[in-house]
Structure 1
Amino acid sequence: MSEVKISAEVRTEFGKGAARAVRRENKVPGVLYGHGTEPVHVTLPGHELLLALRTPNVLLALDVDGKSELAIPKAVQRDAIKGFLVHVDLLLVKRGEKVTVEIPVQAEGELAAGGNLLEHVLNTLSVEAEATHIPEAVTVSVEGLEAGASILAKDIALPKGSTLVTDADAVVLQVLAAQAEEPAAEGEGEAAEGAEGAEA
């Protein structure tokens, strides 16, 4: 995974009013913590951070008032309506250190014919990986799977250097049988009955 360099400034004013003032400058308030150190309140450039966070578990190379730090996002708050960044929690990491993160599960391939549906029971897997080599996602083939088939966490091949943390027997993907059209037929029957009642 690539590192994204971002400059951060130490923040000394707190509270909702101060946070709103930061966001008006197109910056994002955040907290940098980890390794037993006192949390450091920072502000980060909004546009650069937004672009960086498009990559899951992105590794941020932060310049905090002239001091270099590595961090990964642990909690990102966005505005529910407009989607802009409200606040971000960043976890300090070191090269070679193992961290536990959530990585997205991506399915590829076509199910067996029959109009069956693929259900994502889990959208992410929890894995342990080196902080500087966190996989962006894991891809699972569902090619030719029939209704009733399921893929467990332990069935998924993880990238080298990653260890599964999610329960090995947890269902990640399952194939559901195509819905029968009986409910629609019942609805049509009720409509017909209603028409008959109206005529009577």
Structure 2
Amino acid sequence: MSAEKIQAEARTEFGKGAARRIRREHKVPAVVYGHGNDPIHITLPGHATMMALKNGGSNALLDLDIDGKSQLALTREVQVDPIKRTLEHIDFVAVRKGEKVTVDVPVHLVGDAQRETLVVTENATVQIEAEATHIPEFIEIDIEGATAGTQILASDLKLPSGSTLLVDADTLIVNVTEQVSAEALEAELEEAEAEAGIEREVSDEDAAAADESGDEAAAEPAEGGDSE
């Protein structure tokens, strides 16, 4: 993963008021931590930073030009306005070329399992150690033709060269099971409710159908009864 270059400005104003002023100018307040140095408070261009984060994924690596000095920075936390969906604040970790970092990388499934199967992603990310400048955007898992009973463990993943798996090798990542029909699910639910002593509420439609059935039964004369 190559680092995208972003022009940054060192900032000396802090607090909520300063942050609001920065955002009104379509910029983003950010902080770079790491390497035992004091945090570096910076301001980033909003649109360019948003695009860089989208292109870089969850572990976007940026080459920040801070007052003429280059600093590689790995994205650690991004705050986004829940309504406007604009960037509110970003925390970075300073890194160097060749330095190894611990990151959580998402898994992407490709292909289709066999019909009448259910594919469940048990763990959507995998923790690995990788060089800061060679962090994979995602780890691909091929499930083409997978049958029910197939289980893909962390040890089965194909990691990029130079990366090391940090989770337990037996961690279940993808589980392929038989697809359960709606009727079977309903039967299992009814059985579980019966065992728990839970009585189901009768819907208006079911009640109406039961009443209609009862009325029809009452209208039919009993066999062998007197008729006058």
Alignment deviations for residues 48-89 of structure 1 (CA, whole Å, 9 cap, x no partner)? 110010122222111111111111101111112232111111
Local SS of the residue matching 2:62 = strand
How much does 1:192 deviate?
6.2
Structure 1 equivalent of residue 67 of structure 2 = 65
State whether structure 2 residue 167 is matched by structure 1 residue 166: yes
Alignment partner of 1:195 out of 202, 205, 208: 208
Q: Which residue number corresponds to residue 124 of structure 1?
A: 125
Cα deviation, residue 191, structure 1: 6.8
Q: In the alignment, which residue of structure 1 is the partner of 2:10? A: 10
Provide, for residues 149-200 of structure 1, a one-character-per-residue CA deviation record: whole Å limited to 9, x for no partner.
221111101011110112221111112332322256889x967642234434
The total of aligned residue pairs comes to 198
Unaligned ranges ≥5, structure 1 = none
Equivalent residue number for residue 50 of structure 1: 50
> What's the TM-score, normalizing by structure 2?
0.80
| Within-5 A mapping of 1:21-40 | 21-40=21-40
Structure 1 residues 22-70: Cα deviation after superposition (integer angstroms, max 9, x where no partner):
1111111111011000111111111011001012222211111111111
Computing the radius of gyration from Cα coordinates, the structure with the larger value is 2
Partners in 2 of 1:38 and 1:44 — Cα distance? 19
Task: Give the secondary-structure state (helix, strand or coil) at the position aligned to 1:53.
Answer: helix
- Look up the SS of the partner of 2:41 in the other structure: strand
| Structure 2 CA distance for aligned equivalents of residues 81 and 167 of structure 1 | 38
Q: Partner letter of residue 12 of structure 1? A: T
Matched ranges for 1:143-158 at <5 A: 143-158=144-159
Q: Which has the higher strand share?
A: 1
- The equivalent position to 1:96 in structure 2, one of 95, 98, 102, is 98
1:6 aligned counterpart, secondary structure: strand
Report 1 or 2 for greater relative contact order, CA contacts < 8 Å, sequence distance ≥ 6. Answer: 1
Amino acid at match of 1:89: D
Scaled by the length of structure 1, what TM-score is found? 0.91
Picking from 70, 83, 86, the partner of 2:85 is 83
Specify which structure has the higher proportion of helix: 2
Q: Distance in 2 between matches of 1:94 and 1:134?
A: 13
